[in-house]
Each structure stands twice: as C-alpha cells, then as structure tokens.
C-alpha cells in the first residue's frame, strides 16, 4: 500500500507531445486523473518493448498516486487484428484463442516485472456497439463516408487537425507509418483517409453493422474505448512513440470531430523505443526479445531496473553492458536492503528528521516532478544505499538510522519505482546469504590470503586467476583503504 502523499505544494511538469513542450500538470478535476495507455495487440507473446511501455506508465501512475491523486488507469487489448487473424488461420484455431493465450502471457510477465494492474483492460471485441455508434456519428457529421469495402474517415473535413502531434505533413511522415498507411485496392477517396470499418473477407471474424458485416479499423477502437471509460474529456493519453503517427493522430481526428470539441486529451505522453545493441529491435534482423526470453537470463526486478535507468521518453539501448550494470547496482540495493531489514526486525523509524534522507527525498521528488525522471530517482536510491551500506559496515546493525534507511527505500525504491521484493522475500534472501556465507567462508578466506600473497609478490596473473575463481562462486571482492572485503553477489 502506498505511503501518504508527499507533503508540500507539488509542481509536476510533463512533456506534452501535442505542444512539444513541458507543461505544468493540471487535471480536469482537482485531485483526480484519468489515463488511457494503448496496450498490446496480442498476436504473439509480449516483447521487451511492451515491457518498456508498461513499466513507464506503471511508474507514472505510481507517482501520481504517491502525489495524492486518485488515478483511473485504463489500458486496452486490441484483440481483433489482421495479424491475429493470420495466426489463427495458420494454426486453424479461433482468433480469440490466439488473443487470449497472449493476453495471459502479458499478465504473467508483467506481474513478474511488478507492473501493477490497470483499473480496467477493455477489449475491442467487447466495445463493438460503441465503435459502431461512433462511426455512425462521424458519418452523420460528414466526417466519414461509406465505400465498397467499408467506411473511411475523410481527412479533408478537418485539415486543421492534421499533424498536431508530429508537426509535419503527411508526405514527411509516411515513411514512419510502419506500413499502415496504404490505400492499395481500397475505396478511399484520398490516400490520407483511414479505415473506420472494414467489410469482412470470406472466413474472417465479423460483426453486424449498418454498412455490412465486418470489423473495426485500427484507430477507431482506442477512441471508442477511451471515451467509454474516461468520458468526453480526459487528462492523459499515452503509448509508445511509434504510435504518434498514424494511430494517435487518427484518434485526434476521430474523437474531436465526433464530439465537436478540442482538445479531448489534455496531455499526450509517449515513451521511447527499445534498441538492441544500437539497432531497432526487429524479428527480421534477428534481435527480437520476448519478455519471457529476457526473464530466462535476467531476474525480473533487474530487467525492470534496467528499463527505468533512463527517462521514459528516451530510447533504451538493450545490451550486455547495460544489463551487467543493472545487475551490479540492483544487487547492491537488494543486498543492503535485505540485510538491514533482517537486523531491524520490523522496526519502523520516521526518517523526516534525518537530514540526509530529507535531502534525498527533496531531490527524488524534484526529479520525478520533472516529467517522471526515473534516472534521477535511481541516482538517489543508490546514494541512500551507499549510506546504508556504511551503516551496516560500521556494525551498528540495530541502530535507528538503519531502520530509517529501510523505511526510505521501501517508500521510494519499492512503492514508487517497484524495484524491491516484498519484505518476506528480502529477509529470505538474506537468510540464504547467511547460510551460504557460512558454507564458503573458510574457502574464501583461504583464497583471499593466497591472492594477497600473489599481489605482494606482484604475480598479477595469479591474483587475477584467484579473483576469477572467487567470482565463479559468487563472491565480490572489494579492495579499499581499510583492506580487502568480500560479499556475496
């Protein structure tokens, strides 16, 4: 359960894609926030790009709630789509079987990554009546037209809305449309128009409509679902930056033309994409990682740590150096936290009178209030970990300062950033470490003596060999002014 809201006056600034600037965040209703984030199209297992998006908005929601807002968070599933149909036909199964198994995979991996559940997960197939009504309203208002293969939105009826997110003309952004801008063989009047309703081809899933049996176009779905759950105006709409064009541009056309007012969405937020070793992640390139693939090699909370070690709007380069760095930093956090928690024996100390922790709170709040800057937040977490490690090394294991540091970490590393295990898991980890340390202590001390002797005789190759042997058994050697210390990784 989240701790009480932060004290004092909050000035949260968020980067709004539509205005291309950071703006002071003021919700439509004081103290309440409505958020819609575009979810997955479940034609295959979730990949690490999905994890980046889910974690980014999870932390945004966590921080808003921490700051005292009542948040209604909605994220959808596009459970009918060309790719889902293609997989279902290839496998000879119902399209919902494909969607449902991949939605189940999504929940499994996101739960492992400590992503809190949204307040609702609407599905396209459960929102068909609202979609049909919205299309009819757009036809009635002369913003859409019926063609031989479905219904299309007519861009020329609202030209002033084109490019409000990208700031570019269609010709400038067509290459970035992911292949989804296409009028080959369609009944479009203009190549810029986009489908609202697609008449069914033989063997495809379909629903009844005034224009013939078919299914919704891609863009209309999110407009209908967001308005159904959050109303005719709401605060934040988000998703990956790959959705800015054409998906979110199209949503603005549909929603604002249907309702007759703008803006419907007050702030547009977009997270950066995932690159793999400097290249865009792609199945065709062979550098595609599902979340399950990643979790076979990386602990879930380490992966979460890695994906928030940059502000959410920046792209993340997923590589071995980044992962090793995250393993190291997260390992220190868990080691210090679990040991301090073990020795504090459930004691809770108010840290508000401890100057260093108050200052860390001020800095982490300043960073998070500046467009949810998790990189600054992690720097402050590691600063507090360093102080806690010093307390542990001093031997004052029952000291109230240790408990205060534990309390601070649970509040910010745990509740806000979501990178701590539960207290019971943390204590179990430290108990395992005590047992393991006892088992290998004699061997480690012997190896350290041998290493010291090798160093004294300047036999660096032997010294390195011994250090490698220690690393293989999970021992981290730390050389310092006070001598050599060791800990379990």
User: CATH 3.40.50.620: does it fit domain 13-300?
Assistant: yes
Q: What residues does each domain of the chain span? A: 13-300, 319-421, 440-489
Under the banding of pLDDT at 50, 70 and 90, the label for residue 483 is confident
Please report the pLDDT score of residue 486 as a whole number. Answer: 77
**Average pLDDT of the residues in 149-165:** 94
**pLDDT for the residue 173:** 44
pLDDT at 355: 94
In angstroms, rounded to a whole number, what is the distance separating the alpha carbons of residues 14 and 373? 10
- Compute the average pLDDT of residues 40-44: 97
The pLDDT score that the predictor gives to residue 396 is 63
Q: Bridge-partner residues for 280, per DSSP?
A: 275
Mean pLDDT of 64-85: 97
The token duo for 120 is: 């609702």
pLDDT digits (tens, 9 = 90+) for 178-191: 444 444 557 899 88
Q: What percent of the chain has pLDDT over 90?
A: 74
**Segment 319-363, tens digit of pLDDT:** 999 999 999 999 999 999 999 999 887 677 788 889 999 999 999
Distance CA 320, CA 316 (A): 13
Number of Cβ atoms within 10 Å of the Cβ of 167: 11
Return the pLDDT at 398.
57
Average pLDDT over residues 469-480: 84
Instruction: For residue 24, report the phi and psi dihedrals to the nearest 5 degrees.
Output: -65, 130
pLDDT digits (tens, 9 = 90+) for 85-124: 999 999 999 999 999 999 999 999 999 999 999 999 999 9
Report pLDDT for 473.
Answer: 87
Tokens of 232: 């005719």
User: d(Cα 486, Cα 466) in Å, to the nearest integer?
Assistant: 13
- pTM for this one? 0.90
Res 347: pLDDT = 76
Q: What is the per-residue pLDDT for 176?
A: 44
User: Regarding predicted confidence, which is higher, 486 or 208?
Assistant: 208
């Amino acid at each position: 359960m989240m701790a009480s809201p932060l004290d004092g006056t909050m000035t949260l600034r968020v980067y709004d894609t539509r205005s291309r600037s950071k703006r002071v965040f003021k919700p439509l209703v004081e103290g309440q926030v409505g958020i819609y984030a575009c979810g997955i199209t479940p034609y295959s297992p979730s990949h690490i790009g999905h994890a980046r998006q889910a974690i980014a908005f999870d932390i945004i929601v966590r921080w808003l709630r921490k700051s005292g807002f009542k948040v209604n968070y909605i994220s959808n599933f596009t459970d009918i789509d060309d790719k889902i149909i293609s997989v279902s036909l290839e496998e000879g199964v119902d399209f919902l079987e494909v969607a449902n198994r991949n939605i189940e995979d999504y929940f499994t991996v996101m739960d492992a990554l400590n992503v809190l559940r949204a307040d609702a997960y609407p599905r396209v197939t459960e929102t068909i009546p609202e979609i049909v009504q919205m299309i009819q309203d757009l036809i009635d208002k002369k913003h859409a037209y019926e063609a031989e293969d479905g219904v299309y939105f007519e861009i020329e009826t609202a030209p002033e809305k084109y490019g409000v997110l990208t700031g570019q003309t269609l010709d400038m952004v067509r290459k970035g449309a992911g292949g989804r801008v296409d009028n080959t063989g369609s009944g479009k009047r203009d190549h810029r128009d986009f489908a609202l309703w697609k008449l069914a081809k033989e063997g495809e899933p379909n629903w009844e409509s005034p224009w013939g049996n078919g299914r919704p176009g891609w863009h209309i779905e999110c407009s209908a679902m967001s308005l159904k759950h959050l109303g005719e105006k709401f605060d934040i709409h988000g998703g990956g930056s790959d959705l800015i064009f054409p998906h979110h541009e199209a949503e603005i056309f549909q929603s604002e033309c249907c309702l007759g007012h703008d803006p419907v969405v007050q702030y547009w937020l977009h997270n950066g994409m995932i690159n793999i070793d400097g290249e865009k992640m792609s199945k065709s390139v062979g550098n595609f990682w599902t979340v399950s693939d990643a979790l076979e090699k990386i602990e879930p909370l380490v992966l979460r740590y890695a994906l928030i070690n940059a502000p959410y709007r920046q792209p993340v380069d997923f590589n071995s150096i980044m992962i090793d760095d995250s393993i190291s930093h997260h390992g220190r956090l868990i080691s210090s936290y679990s040991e301090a928690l073990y020795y504090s024996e459930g004691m809770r100390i108010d840290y508000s009178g401890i100057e260093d922790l108050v200052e860390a709170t001020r800095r982490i709040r300043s960073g998070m209030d500046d467009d949810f800057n998790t990189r600054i937040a992690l720097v402050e977490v590691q600063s507090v970990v360093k102080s806690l490690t010093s307390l542990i090394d001093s031997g004052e294991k029952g000291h109230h300062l240790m408990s205060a540091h534990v309390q601070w970490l649970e509040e910010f590393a745990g509740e806000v950033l979501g990178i701590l295990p539960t207290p019971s898991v943390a204590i179990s980890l430290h108990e395992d470490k005590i047992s393991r340390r006892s088992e290998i202590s004699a061997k480690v001390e012997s190896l350290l003596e041998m290493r010291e002797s090798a160093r004294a005789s300047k036999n660096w190759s032997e010294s390195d060999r011994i250090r490698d042997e220690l690393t293989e058994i999970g021992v981290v050697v730390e050389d310092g002014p006070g001598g050599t210390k060791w800990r379990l990784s």
